[in-house]
Amino acid sequence: MEGAKDTKKRFIYFNNIRIRGIDPLEVKEALLVSEIIEDYPDDKRGQSFLVYGKTRVGRDIHVLCGMAYDILWIITVYEPDPAEWVNPKTRRIVK
């Protein structure tokens, strides 16, 4: 992920992951070029964040991740729904 400041190796752990028709290789591709678009530092289960990335073929992917014990946990993966997102990086404001 962009902006990573340390060089410690991070391990990815898929725990009860829900992948909606997305190949795990696509998740890897998206994570390699991803950026954090939402941060949830006070999540009751621990810090989590939403990242956005593109696969090699240009598919937009969101990955909800958590960090614990120096491990990156992948919680869920999905394609952003245009009804909920202005663009892949900007959430629609619903009034």
pTM of the model: 0.78
Residues 27/33, Cβ–Cβ less than 8 Å: no
- Residue 2: pLDDT band with limits 50, 70, 90: very low
> How confident is the model over 21-63, as pLDDT tens digits?
888 889 999 999 999 999 999 888 788 999 999 999 999 999 9
Q: Which two tokens stand for residue 22?
A: 């997305």
Residues β-bridged to residue 26: none
Question: Measured between alpha carbons, how far is 28 from 74 in angstroms, rounded to an integer?
Answer: 11
The overall average pLDDT reported for the chain is: 83
Report d(CA 31, CA 35) in Å as an integer.
8
